[in-house]
Amino acid sequence: MIDGEAVAGLRGERLDWRFQAVPADAHGRTVAEYLATRPALGDLGTPLLTLDAAALAHNLDLMARWTADAGVELAPHGKTTMAPQLWKAQLDAGAWGVTLANLPQLRVGRAFGVRRLLLANSLLDPAGLAWIAAELDRAPEFEFLCWADSVRTVELMDAALRDAGASRPVDVCVELGGPGGRTGARTLAEAEAVAGAVRSAPTLRLAGVAGYEGAFAHDASDASLDIVDGYLRRFADLFGRLSFEVDAPIATAGGSAYFDQVVDVLGALPSARVILRSGAYLIHDDGFYRGISPLARSAAGGERFRSAMHGWGRVVSRPERDLALVDTGKRDLPFDEGLPTPQLVRGRGTAPVADAHVSALADQHAFLRGADVEIGDVVRFGLSHPCTAMDKWQLIPVVSSADDAAPVVVDLVRTWF
C-alpha cells in the first residue's frame, strides 16, 4: 500500500541546520547514524516538539482493533501528520488507504507510492486532474477517489479529464453538507442532481457518498451529539436513494470526534463499504481530543487513546513574582484549540507546575503563571491539537516514552507540509 523502500530511504537523509530540532553536533550525519548514538532527550535544545513511541504504538493498535470489531474500514486523514513514516505504520496496521485534503498533499502521497488515496475535497484544477489521469494510466494498481458537491463541479471535472485524454474514469463520491457547514450539497435533491451528473459523465464513476459530521458540532454535549446523529441519518437517506456504478459503494464520514456515531448509523446501511477518515487518533492530545474522543466519552474504564505529543520549553526569564517566560510560543506549539498546559519540570516532577497555567503565547514565548520554576528549568507541556502541531516541524524526535526518567530518541519523523 506504500513504497517501503521510499519510506526507509528517509533514514539516509543528512541532518543539518534545516531541522530545528536537531543539535549542531548531529549535522552531517544521516538520520540512521544519529539514531545509532542513542541520543538522550536532554541532548536536544528548546523549543521542541516530541512524539512518544509507546503512545503511538498504543493508539495505532487500539484504533485498528476498534475498527475491526466495528466492521468498518479506515482511511486515516494524512493531513494531520503529513508523515509517510506514520502513514506506513497505519497502513501496515490494516488501514484501507490514506485520506488527503489537497493536490500538494496528493503529490506527497504518490511520491511515497501510496496506492489508495481518498481526496476529501473536490479536485477542479485542470493541471491536477491531468496529473491524476496520468497517474491512473501509469499505475493500474493506483486507486483514487474524490468528492463533488455541485453539477458545475462535475462539468468542470469532466471537461478537464476529456482534455487530458483520460482513459480510466475517476471515482467520485457525492458530498452531502448542510446549512452552516463547509462544502457539500445542502439538500438531498441537490445531492441527487450531482449524482445524476456524475453518472452521465463518461470520465467519472459514481462510487459513493461522502461527508463530514464534525462540521456541525464541536463538543460532546447532548445537543451536539443529536445534531451529528441527524446529519448522519440524512446521509444514510441519500445513500439509500442512489444507484452506484461500483460493486461496493463507499459511505465515508467520521473524523476523530464522532466516529462511534458514524458506525452506529452508517454501519447499518446494506451493501455499503463504510470508511472512517479519523486522522487525529494516532497523535491524540491532552486537550480537545482527550475530551471529545468517543473512547474517552464511552469507554468507562476501558482503553483510551494517549497523547503522543509534548512540547518542551526552557524558562528564560522571571521578570515578575508570578510570571515566567518560556522559550516556546505560537511558532513552535499549537494554540487554536487551547493553550499548552504545563505538566512537569524535567528532573523535578509535577509539583513545580501543579497549580500553574499558560496565560498567553507570543510568537516565541509562553507566559507561564503560578509555577515554582527557576531560570534554566525545562518544562513539559500537554498540547491541543495535533493538526496544528505537526505542521510547525519538519523533523520531529520520537522518544521512547515521555514519562521515562531519561527519555531516549528512538526515531525522527519527517513531515512534508
pLDDT tens digit string along 337-389?
A: 999 999 999 999 999 999 999 999 999 999 999 999 999 999 999 999 999 99
pLDDT tens digit string along 183-233?
A: 999 999 999 999 999 999 999 999 999 999 999 999 999 999 999 999 999
As a whole number, mean pLDDT of residues 95-116 equals 98
Global pTM reads 0.96
Which of 5, 6, 1 lies closest to 416, judged by CA? 6
- Return the H-helix or E-strand segment holding 167: none
As a whole number, mean pLDDT of residues 128-145 equals 98
Distance, in Å, from the CA atom of 382 to the CA atom of 401, rounded to the nearest integer, reads: 14
Contact 403, 25 (CB under 8 A): no
Q: What's residue 305's pLDDT?
A: 97
pLDDT tens digit string along 78-104?
A: 999 999 999 999 999 999 999 999 999
Per-residue exposure over 168-194, b if at least 16 CB sit within 10 Å of its own CB, e if not? bbbbbbbbbbbeebebbbeeeebbebb
Q: What's residue 300's pLDDT?
A: 53
Q: What's residue 301's pLDDT?
A: 61
Distance, in Å, from the CA atom of 106 to the CA atom of 110, rounded to the nearest integer, reads: 6
% of the chain with per-residue pLDDT over 90? 97
Residues of the chain with CATH 2.40.37.20: 4-52+305-414
Which of 67, 275, 264, 87 lies closest to 173, judged by CA? 275
Strands 309-320 vs 48-52: parallel, antiparallel or unpaired: antiparallel
Distance, in Å, from the CA atom of 81 to the CA atom of 10, rounded to the nearest integer, reads: 16
Q: How many CB atoms lie within 10 A of CB 12?
A: 10
Residues of the chain with CATH 3.20.20.10: 56-281
pLDDT tens digit string along 8-17?
A: 999 999 999 9
C-alpha cell at 327: 522559550
Q: How many residues does the chain have?
A: 417
Distance, in Å, from the CA atom of 229 to the CA atom of 258, rounded to the nearest integer, reads: 9
pLDDT tens digit string along 290-326?
A: 999 999 887 556 899 999 999 999 999 999 999 999 9
Q: Say whether pLDDT at 122 is over 70.
A: yes
pLDDT tens digit string along 239-256?
A: 999 999 999 999 999 999
Which of 66, 401, 108, 16 lies closest to 410, judged by CA? 401
Select from 3.20.20.10, 3.20.20.150, 3.20.20.70, 3.40.50.360 the CATH code of 56-281: 3.20.20.10
pLDDT tens digit string along 266-292?
A: 999 999 999 999 999 999 999 999 999
As a whole number, mean pLDDT of residues 24-38 equals 98
Q: What's residue 299's pLDDT?
A: 58
Domain 4-52+305-414 = CATH 2.40.37.20: yes
Contact residues for 214 (Cβ-Cβ < 8 A; gap 6+): 228, 255, 257, 258
Q: Is the bond leading into 47 cis (omega within 30 degrees of zero)?
A: yes
Longest CA span, the chain = 71
As a whole number, mean pLDDT of residues 40-51 equals 97
Q: What's residue 297's pLDDT?
A: 83
Judged on CB neighbours under 10 Å (0-12, 13-18, 19+), 310 is buried
Distance, in Å, from the CA atom of 95 to the CA atom of 301, rounded to the nearest integer, reads: 26
Distance, in Å, from the CA atom of 239 to the CA atom of 233, rounded to the nearest integer, reads: 10
Contact 311, 375 (CB under 8 A): no
